[in-house]
A and B are shown apart, each in its own frame.
Chain A
Amino acid sequence: MTPVLTYPRTTRGPVAAWRRFVAVLVKEFIQLRRDRVTLISMIFISLVQLLLFGYAINTDPKELRTAVLAQDESVFTRSFLAAMRTTGYFDIRERVASESELDDLILSGAVQFGVQIPSDFGRQLVRGERPALLVIADATDPSATVNAVGALEGIAARAFERDLIGPTAALASTPPPYEIRIHRRYNPVGDTHLNIVPGLMGTILSMTMLIFTALSVTREIERSTMESLLAMPIRPVEIMLGKIAPYVLVGAFQMVLILSAAWLLFDVPIVGSLALLLALTTLFVIANLAVGYTFSTVAENQLQAVQMSFFFFLPNILLSGFMFPFNGMPDWAQWIGETLPMTHYLRIVRGIMLKGADLSHLAIPVGALGLFTLVAMAVAVNRFRQTLD
């Protein structure tokens, strides 16, 4: 039997604080490694989200369902429809007989485009009266229709090249002998483009980081290990940093995964500095970890912690400019949006990846994100109860 030994040790100062931090860090790492379900879900969630969103949210969709109301059965009508098909954007599925039928199809979402060719379109065209063709676009999702509309304008000039021969050949010159009136329904101002995949970085990182740290303190309380941890000589800030640090690495791993997929699968460019992007993404990861940890100190059980995370996650998705164009939101929504880390991160990530912005351009969002992180950490450390009172 060996007697109780007194080992050489350091109990005060930065070395001791570092050792305590490492103690928690190592423990959290082992627990994370052993918790296969969590680990796999972290990698899996990010991949599935990326693939689902990335492919489902196609920024350049083709073969959009189209209905035609042809009130003029001239050669020009056939040529125009043929030209629409060749762009690849339009899948002409229906021929309708009245305007109200056309309206119904668009309203119900059965088609995204309606083309109305007025009754004496061919005759007016030949007479050089520049008749109007009406194209109705369902613009509820602007990114879904914007390219198709662009393609329409492209075909305007060339559609009738072969039909306008002989005496009407003069009409084939620019400007085109007719006019396409595009009527964007439901959302007249179309914005957003290419934003989706960079925005997904924010969404995926935010969700996984939030939830997994939100559980970290409540889990210790539920498993009754907290009492013992509190009875040991360790400070709240050391516990927090030790618990957050492993997830910074997990976040870095997810970040590399998403960026590779964005580049390989979706051809999203990184115009700006990759190093800057990585550094600022890490800041965003820490901001979310700090929020998750704060929830963890407030929630009474793991279920509550998850609920709080979702409560925070939703406005981050809805009001940050990820889901809807930020400038299209009402003022009050923009004010809320400005307080969310995701809003600033989206500006950073879009700025760097798409526009090639550098740090000097991003001073405001970076400052906001940094401030947010500090405040969240301060709240977390303050909220952390060092006693069981």
Chain B
Amino acid sequence: MRATLPSPAQPIKAAGAFAGDIAIEVSGLTKSFNGRTVVSDLSMEVRRGLIYGFLGPNGSGKTTTIRMLCGLLTPDAGRGTCLGYDILTQSDEIKRHVGYMTQRFSLYEDLSIRENLEFVARIHGLDDPRGAAGDALHRLGLENRAHQLAGELSGGWKQRVALGASILPGPQLLLLDEPTAGVDPKARRDFWDEIHRLAGEGLTVLVSTHYMDEAERCHEIAYIAYGRLLAEGTVSNVVAQSGLETWTVTGIALRQLAETLRGQPGVDMVAPFGSALHVAGRDPALLMRATEAARADERYSWRRDKPTLEDVFIDLMDRGRDNFG
């Protein structure tokens, strides 16, 4: 696999979505466990051929949503389709056409890489499981490690092989649940190169992640917290919709400044970023008033900035907590 840096992918412009153009379409999905609502009235739509990022804090309902999409969990309420198949009644069909990579390593650690791949090929009824496994090994660049046990692989390679196994039967939709958690930056980059290549070949990919750089590599993102979808769209749309007025402050004694500003009316977010401080608020006028004294202080230099995606998410999470938490 080449380690070239892919150009920021352009969303595929779909002029007027028609049924065949939609990979996932769900509305009102609700799921609770033991009286605790994990996913609440969630609706979303993913167009075919897109990389759709699924973001949100731990326990926000990302995994539960993905499991409902592929028929592993039955929603308490709501409806939807996945690749045109009903998620409530046609999970058998969905399983044939969806590749699902679970959060925890899902290959058999006591089977070799080749044996794992052949197992998947056989389950899907392929005529030539050995040939298909060989192709997948070639694709992964793992021909000479085919007989290594899956459990002996490093974290990054484990994820690559798991991805290889989930695309082996040729699915139309890939569901990846935090595929790069705990993987080093180089391996993460390689992994994302592969995802972009797959999308280029027409696969739809729904991927959940915590990493902001990964979110920015998605065509579209959805932010989910407390089981609710709080923002959706392209990265620039989500940033623009946030309506956050953001300032970057540099200087000395930033920690003191952070303490002073935090909690002031109009200051919705104060977060250190390396040697700078991000200060943001949704109401520009209020924010200006709250920071007036600090802006006059000569120790700091203030610069108006575009909010980062992280700023937006942290703000969304805080607001989510206020409303539903």
Contact = CB atoms under 8 A, between A and B. Distances in A.
B119 A16 contact: no
A35 B111 CA distance: 11
B85 to A, nearest CB: 12
Nearest to B116: A27
Given A10-B127, A20-B123, A233 B139 contact: no
Interface string B123-145: 11111110110010011000000
Contact of A231 (B1, B98, B128, B139): B98
Interface in B1-36: 1-2
A31 B170 contact: no
A327 interface: no
B285 to A, nearest CB: 49
A353 B70 CA distance: 54
B126 A4 contact: no
A9 B125 contact: yes
B170 A228 contact: no
A387 B70 CA distance: 10
B108 A9 contact: no
B109 interface: yes
B109 A30 contact: no
Interface in A1-52: 1-11, 15-16, 19-20, 22-24, 26-27, 30-31, 34-35
Contacts of B2: 1
B122 interface: yes
Given A4-B170, A10-B127, A228 B100 contact: yes
A4 B74 contact: no
Contact of B119 (A1, A2, A10, A23): A23
A234 interface: yes
Contact of A9 (B95, B127, B139): B127
B220 interface: no
A331 interface: no
B73 A389 contact: yes
A34 B110 contact: yes
A16 B123 CA distance: 8
B120 interface: yes
B305 interface: no
A116 B96 CA distance: 83
Nearest to A2: B139
A224 B121 CA distance: 20
Contacts of B73: 387-389
A233 B104 contact: no
A348 to B, nearest CB: 36
A34 B150 CA distance: 13
A273 interface: no
A216 to B, nearest CB: 13
B224 interface: no
B201 A3 contact: yes
Contacts of B121: 7
A9 B121 CA distance: 9
A167 B262 CA distance: 127
Contacts of B167: 4
A388 B122 contact: no
A389 B169 CA distance: 26
B268 interface: no
B239 to A, nearest CB: 33
A119 interface: no
B128 A7 contact: yes
B72 interface: yes
A7 B122 CA distance: 12
A148 to B, nearest CB: 54
A280 interface: no
Nearest to B166: A228
Contact of B74 (A35, A228, A387): A387
Given A20-B122, A225-B106, A227-B106, A27 B115 contact: yes
A4 B73 CA distance: 28
A4 B201 contact: yes
A232 interface: yes
A228 B203 CA distance: 20
A230 interface: yes
Contact of B198 (A4, A16, A233): A4
Contact of A20 (B92, B125, B135): B125
Contacts of A19: 122-123, 125-126
B95 A232 contact: yes
A223 interface: yes
Contact of A11 (B100, B122, B124): B124
B67 interface: yes
Interface in A199-228: 223-225, 227-228
B125 A231 contact: no
A228 B92 contact: no
A15 B122 CA distance: 11
Given A1-B2, A234-B123, 13 more contacts: A4-B167, A4-B203, A7-B132, A7-B169, A9-B126, A19-B123, A22-B122, A224-B105, A225-B108, A231-B102, A232-B120, A388-B72, A388-B73
- Nearest first, the 10 closest Cβ-Cβ pairs linking A and B are A23-B122, A228-B106, A224-B104, A231-B100, A233-B95, A16-B125, A6-B170, A10-B125, A23-B123, A9-B126
30 contacts: A1-B2, A1-B139, A2-B135, A4-B170, A4-B201, A4-B203, A5-B170, A7-B131, A7-B170, A8-B128, A9-B124, A9-B125, A9-B127, A10-B125, A19-B125, A24-B123, A27-B108, A223-B108, A223-B109, A224-B104, A227-B72, A228-B100, A228-B106, A228-B107, A232-B123, A234-B123, A387-B72, A387-B74, A388-B72, A388-B73
